[in-house]
């Protein structure tokens, strides 16, 4: 368990740094009112987690340790949106459209509502 925590933590550390640098690069070199940096990171993270899970499903190239480091750690630190997208893809693959719609709808709606509530509370307190 300690080894897994170390792998996930190290991957998350590197993913978070990569997210910061990639997002900053995009915003600095392609300035826009659109949050291009975050958008780029989220889409790139989704692509990366797809590649990681695709490789792990088709071959034994990635050990469980590498999968933890790359998918849970790096992609999790890079963007949690990648995990959200991968979980939704799994629901779609399983034909579980009800839970797909429920998870997607509630995550987006409640995520925005919770963020709004957090901001609102800080203004009140």
Q: What is the pLDDT along the chain (125 residues), one digit of tens a residue?
A: 999 999 999 999 999 999 999 999 998 999 887 788 888 898 888 899 888 888 888 888 889 899 999 999 999 999 878 788 888 899 999 999 999 999 999 989 888 887 888 788 887 87
Q: Into how many domains does the chain fold?
A: 1
Query: Of the candidates 41, 114, 109, 119, which has an alpha carbon nearest to the alpha carbon of residue 80?
Result: 41
Sign of CA dihedral 97, 98, 101, 107: negative
Q: Which domain holds residue 68?
A: 2-79
Please indicate, yes or no, if residue 117 is contained in any of the structural domains.
no
Structural domain includes residue 89 = no
Does any domain span residue 41? yes
Is 119 a domain residue? no
99 in a structural domain: no
Q: How far apart are CA 81 and CA 39, in angstroms?
A: 10
Say if CB 11 and CB 48 are below 8 A apart. no
Q: Is 40 domain-assigned?
A: yes
């Amino acid at each position: 368990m300690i080894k897994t925590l170390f792998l996930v933590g190290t991957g998350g550390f590197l993913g978070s740094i990569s997210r910061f640098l990639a997002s900053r690069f995009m915003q600095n070199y392609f300035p826009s009112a659109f949050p291009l940096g975050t958008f780029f990171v989220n889409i790139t993270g989704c692509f990366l987690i797809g590649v990681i899970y695709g490789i792990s499903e088709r071959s034994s190239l990635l050990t469980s340790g590498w999968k933890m480091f790359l998918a849970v750690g790096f992609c999790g630190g890079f963007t949690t949106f990648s995990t959200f997208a991968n979980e939704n893809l799994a629901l779609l693959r399983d034909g579980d459209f009800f839970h797909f719609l429920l998870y997607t709808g509630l995550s987006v709606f409640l995520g925005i509502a919770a963020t709004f509530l957090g901001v609102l509370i800080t203004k009140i307190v």
